[in-house]
Amino acid sequence: MEGLRQDDPARIGEFVTLARLDAESARHGVPERRFLARSSDGARTVVVSLPLPGTDPGRWAAEAQWAGRLTQPGFWPVTQLGGSAAFPWHATPYRPLLPLTAVLAAHGGPLPEATVRAIGAALAETLASAHVLGLVHGGISPASVLLTAHGPLLSCFGATRSLAPEGLPRAGLPGLEPGCLAPEAATGGPVDAAGDVHALGAVLAYLATGHTVPERNEVPAGLRPLIAACLSRDPAGRPAPARLLGELAPGAAYGTLTAGTEPLSLPGRVVAALSEQAAWVLAAELPAEVR
């Protein structure tokens, strides 16, 4: 989380912006502009997202509409859509959350293997439920996974589709984490379920090493075969999310990891960072001119 810059909007719809959700150091791989904001009467605090400059606003808005229909646990809910054809936005009620880039910054480096497995298993369960329905996220990256006290949530639905249409190379585009792009998607191929698995493998690698494309010997031995399979250049060689769930959390009952009923066991520094953010948001005041 960082303070606003001069080129950031002071208002988005009925909301007054308070801060950026993403630190400047992590913004290269963030597929949306995200702000903490509050209604002018002070009653509602939300996270508001805008398309990046250069994104097709119509396609971005269409993906946001799809995200608003998602009811599967494990997805960041889009509860309000607004703006115009040229300046669309969407908003979600605020809860304490950290993008995975901020999680590693707060922890001071890669996470313990047990935590990587817990986060990865919840994400695999979310993908398994989505893929059964034919839904492809198409934008999983460290920045698009928002960690709450009760587990991870997938945001930025359709990010890869929004930033470049099928048939055009996507490698090197602002907002896309290159290590999370499956080889076929990077060259303009379809954004499909196998690409989601590749991206999930890159996120697991990031949590375990701090890099989405680590050296093999950097990855903990217990995770090495699974991450290598996810990052296979051959889409057919990547494991299904249900298999990932079984290997990351053996014996876990399907449907329990994304229920959000039990707090996730997180390192103390990460818990402290979530608490500090919540305290800052609670204490933040609207500018005098809107009070």
Domain annotation covers residue 2: no
* Same domain (yes/no): 229, 112: yes
* Same domain (yes/no): 82, 106: no
Which residue range(s) make up the domain with 209? 98-268
Mean pLDDT of the chain: 93
In angstroms, the Cα distances linking 112 to 146, 243, 255 are: 18, 22, 24
pLDDT band, residue 257 (cuts 50/70/90): confident
* Same domain (yes/no): 83, 135: no
Domain annotation covers residue 169: yes
Query: What is the arithmetic mean of pLDDT over 145-163?
Result: 94
Predicted local confidence at residue 30, as pLDDT: 92
**Is residue 267 over pLDDT 60?**
yes
* Same domain (yes/no): 67, 139: no
Out of 1-15, 191-205, 248-262, least confident range = 248-262
**Is residue 291 over pLDDT 60?**
no
Predicted local confidence at residue 202, as pLDDT: 97
Out of 23-27, 129-133, 143-147, 177-181, least confident range = 23-27
CATH number of the structural domain spanning residue 78: 3.30.200.20
pLDDT tens across 31-41, in order? 999 999 999 99
pLDDT band, residue 222 (cuts 50/70/90): very high
Give the count of domains, the chain.
2
Question: Of the segments 88-92, 183-187, 286-290, which one has the largest average pLDDT value?
Answer: 88-92
Out of 60-64, 148-152, 170-174, least confident range = 170-174
Predicted local confidence at residue 165, as pLDDT: 78
* Same domain (yes/no): 128, 76: no
* Same domain (yes/no): 235, 136: yes
Predicted local confidence at residue 209, as pLDDT: 98
CATH number of the structural domain spanning residue 165: 1.10.510.10
Domain annotation covers residue 73: yes
Query: What is the arithmetic mean of pLDDT over 235-250?
Result: 95
pLDDT band, residue 289 (cuts 50/70/90): low
* Same domain (yes/no): 137, 225: yes
Percent of the chain with pLDDT over 70: 96
Domain annotation covers residue 174: yes
* Same domain (yes/no): 131, 60: no
End-to-end, the C-alpha distance of the chain in Å comes to 23
* Same domain (yes/no): 86, 131: no
Predicted local confidence at residue 260, as pLDDT: 67
Domain annotation covers residue 178: yes
* Same domain (yes/no): 111, 208: yes
The gap from C-alpha 20 to its chain's centroid, in whole angstroms, comes to: 15
Domain annotation covers residue 5: no
Predicted local confidence at residue 287, as pLDDT: 78
* Same domain (yes/no): 220, 146: yes
Query: What is the arithmetic mean of pLDDT over 264-285?
Result: 96
Predicted local confidence at residue 28, as pLDDT: 76
Predicted local confidence at residue 259, as pLDDT: 63
Domain annotation covers residue 117: yes
pLDDT tens across 47-73, in order? 999 999 889 999 999 999 999 998 889
